[in-house]
Amino acid sequence: MKKLFVIILGMMLALIAACNRDQTASDGRPTVALVVKTLNNPFFNDMQKGAEEAARRLGVNLLVQAAEREVDVEKQMQIIENLIQSRVSALVITPSGSKEIVPAIVKANQAGIPVIILDTRVNEEALAAAGGKVAAFIGSDNQEGGRLAGELMVKALGGRGQVAILEGIPGHETGDSRMKGFRQAVSAAPDIQIVSSQTANWERDRGYNVFQNMLQAQPRIQGLFACSDLMALGAVEAIRAAGKTGSIVVIGFDAFSEAREAVRNGLMLATVAQFPSEMGRQGVESAALLLKGEQIQPEMTVRIELITRGNAEGSSQ
C-alpha cells in the first residue's frame, strides 16, 4: 500500500510539473511573459498597459513580473529563469543589467524561447561572446533624448551657468545614453559647467538626498538634468526644501503624469517622453508574430518628444 501511494504521488507531481512547463496547455493560447525592471515606476506601469491592450486584442496570455527595485538585477535573473522553466512561449524583457541579462538570454535560446528586448539594449559584445541572440530590440533613442534635453538647458540658461546631473545606474545603457547625449549638447556651450554628476539609482528618495547634498556642496547650481522623472521629482522636493523653487532649471526624462504636472506648474522646465505604452504594445505584437512563424524587424524605434509647458496639456502617453 505504501509503495502504491508513493507511485501515485510521483505521478501526480509529474503531472503538476508537466502543466507548469507548458504555459499553453490550459486554453491553447500562447503565453508571453513581460519582465520589467520594477512595477514601482509609472514608466513601466504604462509599458504594462500597452502590453495588456495588445494581449487582449491578439488573444495572448500575458504574464507580467518584476523585481521590487530596478537595481535588483539578481532578482530579475531569477524571475526569468523561473519563466524559462515554466516554458512560457516568449519573453519580452526590459533588462535591469545590459551585461548581466546575457546568461538568461542564452538559457532562453537553448530552451527555444524567443526573446524581445524593450527600452534598454543588451550589451552586444557580451551577447556575441556568449553566443546568444535576441529576436528584436524595441525602444527609443535615449541619446537623442538626452541631446534634446541638453540643447534646451543651454537655451534656458542663455549658454552660461553651473549644471548638475542625476545619473541612472552606472553601466546601464539607458541612463548612460541619456547622459551622453546631454553632455554632448552642453559641450557646445563652453560657458556652461557641469559641476556635479552622481547616480541616484532611478529612485525618487535617492534623487532628493543626492541633490540635497549637491546643493550643499555647490550652492550656485542653476540647472539640473535628471536621467529619469522619479529622480527629477525627488530633486524638485530638495529644491523646495532649500527655498530655491523657481531658481533652478530642472529637466527630466520619461514624461509620466506627475512629471507633466510639474512641468505645467513650472516646477520642471521639461521632460522627455518616450512612450513606454507603445513599447509594451509592440513587444507583445512582435512576440505574437514570431510565434506564428512570421518575420519581424530586428530593431524598432519608438518616437520621442520634448514635453514643455507649451505642449504638456495636450500630449499624452
- Same domain for 256 and 107: no
Which has the higher per-residue pLDDT, 186 or 21? Answer: 186
pLDDT, residue 278, reads 97
- Same domain for 150 and 211: yes
Average pLDDT over residues 135-148: 97
- Same domain for 148 and 90: no
pLDDT, residue 8, reads 43
pLDDT, residue 170, reads 84
pLDDT, residue 281, reads 98
Q: What is the pLDDT of residues 203-240, one digit of tens each?
A: 999 999 999 999 999 999 999 999 999 999 999 999 99
Give CA–CA dist 76/56, Å, rounded.
25
Identify the CATH number of the domain in which residue 260 sits.
3.40.50.2300
- Same domain for 151 and 131: no
Sheet containing 31-38: order of strands: 61-67, 31-38, 90-93, 115-118, 136-139, 299-301
Expressed as residue numbers, the domain containing 280 is: 26-139+276-302
**Res. 288 pLDDT band, cuts 50 70 90:** very high
- Same domain for 124 and 53: yes
- Over 50: is that where the pLDDT of 126 sits? yes
The distance between the two most distant Cα atoms of the chain, rounded to a whole number of Å, is 87
Q: Which of 13-22, 162-171, 266-275 has the least mean pLDDT?
A: 13-22
- Same domain for 282 and 135: yes
Specify if 3 maps to a domain: no
pLDDT, residue 137, reads 98
The answer, as to whether pTM is greater than 0.85, is no
Q: What is the pLDDT of residues 167-176, one digit of tens each?
A: 998 878 889 9
Specify if 238 maps to a domain: yes
